[in-house]
Amino acid sequence: MLASGNVNGDLVFLGATQQAALVRDKQLSPVELVSAYLARIDRIDGRLRAYITVCGESALAAARRAEDAIARGEPLGVLHGIPFAVKDQFETRGVRTTAGSRILADNVPDEDATVVARLTAAGGILLGKLNLTEFALGGTVHYPFGQPRNPWNTDHDTGGSSAGSGAAVAAGLCSVSLGEDTGGSVRSPASWCGVAGHRPTWGLVSRHGCIPLAWSLDTPGPLGRTVEDCALALMLIAGPDPRDPLTARRSVPNYRAALTREVRGLRVGVIRELTHGPETDPEMRAAVVGAVGVLRDLGADVSEVSLPLVPRAGAAFMAICDSEGAGLHLPWLRTRPADYDEGTRRLLLAAGLLPAALVHKAQQARGLIRRQLLDALATHDVLVAPTAHRPAPAIASATTPITSRAEAATRFFTRRSFTTPAALAGVPALAVPCGFSASGLPLSLQIIGRRFADATVLRVGHAYEQATDWHRRRPAI
């Protein structure tokens, strides 16, 4: 057993990068680390429901092997001995992969998703499978595997669809997690759970072994307590994969080395429609304006940009994404409708009945929105905006029946207009905490960059994070 005397009781809230360094330096035992997370999961996850499946025995066995490898002086991977968890949308060999649905409750894959295999190959230890909205679609009313809850206030939403990925990182239930972001599903839980979450450039990370939603939008991405942890995880999961022919053939940069904190002279564009629009909560707006002030104080060149089509992005995105989902789910919708959560089923039914001509218009709108975003990025290094229009809402507010078309528009389109523009354009976007509401809920800054400029996006996020202390705060749970 390795010595761990230099580590204090905050072990589970250390960043993955810091934990990995302690493991390599023999200051931290992988067995102690995994045991600490398992104990904490046992103590509090009954309330949070971040996990669907906990791989306790296999994780401890892997931790013991990791410890033996250290003792034998073997070469160690970058993530050696570090427990990670993944959204239950990623296939894991021998471990059930449910996609958050009763329909796949007994689905046990015989192969790891590429991103899981890469983290494991780097020495990471799979701790478990994380809760999500059913089939990553959003709008789940009654989660089949328990209602995920926000660690900052358990009556409030975690954000989705990677609900458990955000909650587990925020609550100290894993070192780092993976989610999947089709239209905001990494950034939304990162925002509402007060952690960092990165949507990589589309095509940078393999989707092989990820249960699909929308082929032109799906993107696996990391969540961590620090931007550095996201950078570390991204380095490990990114890169060409012959089993996903849509992955870019570019080599993967050293994203950690790019975290220089230097943003002097960087041109930052504040998206007016999202930051100062009528839908944006005043506390969220104030926090983002404050964050922009920090970037300005660090030497960034800040100006405002207007993207007039961005308020339409949410509806366009849902038309595209949900209609693809409806096509995928058509057989089950016909044969097993009652096995879907009612919210999921109604989303798919509505999308399945959308006129094709309107879906085509949504695709064309995508081209226009993308052009507006890219034109702004041609004269700015990054764009910034709130990640969400408000802090995490009460869970109860999302479970009441829809009683009007106005209510449907507000509940589904509005918040998606904040995260979907980057998704529609295929560009990277990072969410970082930038404050708390008066009621103690996290607020979040979104940083958007050019295609394959993930390093720049992460550098700006890291610089802001290190100039503030929001990322050091922990929920009281």
Partner 1 sequence: MTELTESQVRALAEALQLPMTGEDTTEVTHRLNAFIEALDPLIALPWAGADAAPAPVDPDRDW
Catalytic residues: 87, 161, 185
Q: Which two three-digit tokens encode residue 329? A: 């789910």
Between residue 329 and residue 368, which ones bind partner 1 under the rule CB under 8 A? 333-334, 337, 342, 345-347, 349-350, 352-355, 358, 360-368
Residues 6+ apart with CB under 8 A from 94: 108, 109, 110
Long-range contact pairs involving 456-459 (C-beta distance under 8 Å, separation at least 24) = 456/258, 456/266, 456/381, 456/382, 457/198, 457/382, 457/428, 457/429, 457/430, 458/198, 458/227, 458/230, 458/231, 458/234, 458/255, 458/258, 458/259, 458/430, 459/258, 459/259, 459/260, 459/261, 459/262, 459/263
Q: Does 202 bind partner 1 (CB under 8 A)?
A: yes
- Residue type at 189 in one-letter notation: P
Q: Give just the sign of the alpha carbon dihedral 280, 283, 289, 294.
A: negative
Does 404 bind partner 1 (CB under 8 A)? Our answer is yes
Tell the smallest beta-carbon distance from residue 174 to partner 1 (Å): 30
Among 285, 370, 390, 462, binds partner 1 (CB under 8 A): 370
266 binds partner 1 (CB under 8 A): no
- Residue 327 binds to partner 1 (criterion: CB under 8 A): no
Task: Calculate the alpha carbon distances from 214 to 77, 423, 464 in Å.
Answer: 33, 11, 32
> Which 83-122 residues touch partner 1, going by CB under 8 A?
none
Find the binding residues for partner 1 in span 210-249 (CB under 8 A). Answer: 215-217, 246-249
The CA–CA distances, whole Å, from 34 to 19, 118, 189 equal: 11, 19, 24
Measured from the CB atom, is 421 or 426 closer to partner 1? 426
Contact 283, 388 (CB under 8 A): no
The yes or no reply on residue 319 touching partner 1 (CB under 8 A) is yes
State how far the Cα of 451 lies from the Cα of 370, in Å rounded to an integer: 11
Site for partner 1 contains 371 (CB under 8 A)? yes
Select from 203, 433, 442, 475 the one that contacts partner 1 (CB under 8 A).
Answer: 203
The first and second tokens of residue 152, run together, are 């900052």
Size of the site for partner 1 (CB under 8 A): 59
CB of 208 to partner 1, least distance (A): 14
318 binds partner 1 (CB under 8 A): yes
Phi and psi dihedrals of 304, rounded to 5? -105, 145
Q: How far is the CB of 378 from partner 1 (least distance, A)?
A: 11
Pairing of strands 196-199, 429-436: antiparallel
**β-bridge pairing 267-271 and 382-386:** parallel
Report the site for partner 1 in 422-451 (rule: CB under 8 A): 425-426, 451
Residues in the chain: 477
Instruction: Give yes or no for a contact between 185 and 162, defined as CB atoms under 8 angstroms apart.
Output: yes
Judged by CB under 8 A, which of 1, 406, 438, 476 binds partner 1?
406
Residue among 72 and 405 whose Cβ is closer to partner 1: 405
x/- track of binding to partner 1 for residues 285-314 (CB under 8 A): ------------------------x--x-x
Query: For partner 1, which is the closer residue by CB, 48 or 373?
Result: 373
Give whichever of 450 and 462 is closer to partner 1, judged by the CB atom. Answer: 450
Is residue 378 near partner 1 by the rule CB under 8 A?
Answer: no
CA distance 7 to 22: 9
Quick check: 375 binds partner 1 (CB under 8 A)? Answer: no
Please give the residues from 161 up to 180 whose contact with partner 1 meets the rule CB under 8 A.
none
AA letter at 118: R
Q: Could you list the residues that contact partner 1 (CB under 8 A)?
A: 202-203, 215-217, 246-250, 309, 312, 314-316, 318-320, 333-334, 337, 342, 345-347, 349-350, 352-355, 358, 360-368, 370-371, 374, 401-409, 412-413, 425-426, 451-452
